[in-house]
Structure 1
Amino acid sequence: MEAVEWIGTLPFAVAIRRSALLYLFVNAAHILSIGIVVGAILPLDLRLIGFFGKVPVATIGPYLSRAAATGVILAIVTGFCLFSVRPLEYAGNAAFLTKITLLVLGIVNAVLLHLTPQWRAVVKGGPLSWRVRLSALISMAVWTGAVLAGRWIGFLSE
């Protein structure tokens, strides 16, 4: 818990806590980052499970994967900044812990998928395997759950 408490003493944490305007911008950046993640992952997942069959995965897969990865990195950075404002409170918040767990699961799912020969085949125009489709279904559930858990955080902190 000392490490968690220490996070709240970092200069950027103090600055965000002291400035409502800075908090507003960091919070907005976090929301926009989440928008990038969901806006890239959900269309890709829908395509991978069989919707929008005329759209080639070889065309959109690499692009949307990179966009989602960028959004995840930005969301982690901005989320850490928001966490630093009240680290002890968030560390004990069940919704926050659920969100972090789902975030890790979503990242692991994506990394594991991208390491498979099935993914390499589909982005080269090959068929959609059950492994790719299953990963897309898991992804949709996990990332939607992470967004819901994120919204739930505020309700448990009041």
Structure 2
Amino acid sequence: MLHNASVQDIRLSKANTNSEESTVFEALETTAIALWVGESLWGYPIMLGLHVVGLAMVVGLFVMRDLRLIGMLDSISFQSLLSLSKLGWMGFLINVISGCFLFSSQATYFVTHTPFLLKITMIFLATVTAGLIQQRIRVGAEEWDSGSGSFGVVRNLAIVSIALWMGAIIAGRLIAYL
């Protein structure tokens, strides 16, 4: 059973890739895991389910942290957010692994698909931003929890972070429709 378009139809639509790229991505699509994800009854739903769980973890926790930085959720301490960020990074790892498996099933299609490329770009930028924010929180958490100190640049990073994660989610959903 195949999801959306058939794998063969997608492989035929790769006219925009050069021959070296096509060969690499075609080879990826013929691996055992790619075939299991793309052609089995349960492969794609299992990987997509894991992807959604990872998404909920990473975006849920990082947006909660970002909302705290912009002045909401004042009852949550920055020390607590630092502890919870480990779960956010675990969700990110789940997404990387499940995302690679999902990608492998339709690599020749995704590599030229604008919404997918936009999603990956936004995820990269959101991840860099998340790392910068976490680094700043580690340095300022005690001071901020005590009420002294200013968030300054970190507040702006939090706004950018929320926009990037939401943009990545929207681009991800557009993959199925465009």
Q: Which residue of 1 is the match for residue 142 of structure 2? A: 124
Cα distance in structure 2, aligned partners of 1:57 and 1:44: 8
Pair 1:54–1:128, CA change in 2 (3 A): farther
- Structure 1 residues 2-151: aligned runs within 5 Å: 2-59=23-80, 61-115=81-135, 118-126=136-144, 127-151=149-173
Paired residues, number: 153
Deviation at 1:128, TM superposition (A): 4.0
Displacement of 1:84 in angstroms is 0.7
| Aligned residues of 2:133 and 2:158 also touching (Cα < 8 A) | no
Secondary structure, counterpart of 1:92 in structure 2? coil
Per-residue deviation, 1:6: 2.1
The letter for the 2-side match of 1:8 is E
* Deviations 1:61-118 (CA, angstroms, capped at 9, x unpaired): 2123212111111111101111111101111110000000001001111222333xx4
**Partners of 2:36 and 2:133 in 1: CA distance:** 39
Query: Once the 2 structures are TM-superposed, how far is the Cα of residue 12 of structure 1 from its aligned partner?
Result: 0.6
Rg (Cα) greater in structure: 2
Q: How far apart in 1 are the matches of 2:77 and 2:134?
A: 17
Cα contact 1:57–1:125 (8 A) shared by 2: no
Give the aligned CA root-mean-square deviation in angstroms: 1.5
- Looking at structure 2, the residues matched to 55 and 114 of structure 1 have their Cα atoms a distance apart, in angstroms, of 15
Q: Distance in 2 between matches of 1:128 and 1:148?
A: 32
Cα distance in 2 between the residues matched to 1:128 and 1:138: 18
In the TM superposition, residue 16 of structure 1 has moved relative to its aligned partner by: 1.5
Q: Which runs of 5+ in 2 are unaligned?
A: 1-20
Q: CA deviation at 1:120?
A: 2.4
Q: Distance in 1 between matches of 2:150 and 2:83?
A: 17
Following the alignment from structure 2 to structure 1, what is the Cα–Cα distance between the partners of residues 24 and 132?
A: 30
TM-score w.r.t. the length of structure 1 is 0.89
Deviation at 1:146, TM superposition (A): 0.4
Unaligned runs of 5+ in 1: none
In 2, the alpha carbon distance for the partners of 1:108 and 1:62 equals 16
Identity %: 29
- TM-score, normalised to structure 2's length? 0.80
Comparing both structures, which one devotes a greater share of its residues to helix? Answer: 1
Per-residue deviation, 1:55: 2.1
Return the offset for 1:152: 0.4
Query: What is the deviation of 1:10?
Result: 1.8
Specify the alignment match of 1:155 in structure 2. 177
Contact kept? 1:44, 1:64, Cα under 8 Å: no
Task: Give the 3-state SS of the residue equivalent to 1:154 in structure 2.
Answer: coil
Deviation for aligned residue 1:11: 1.5
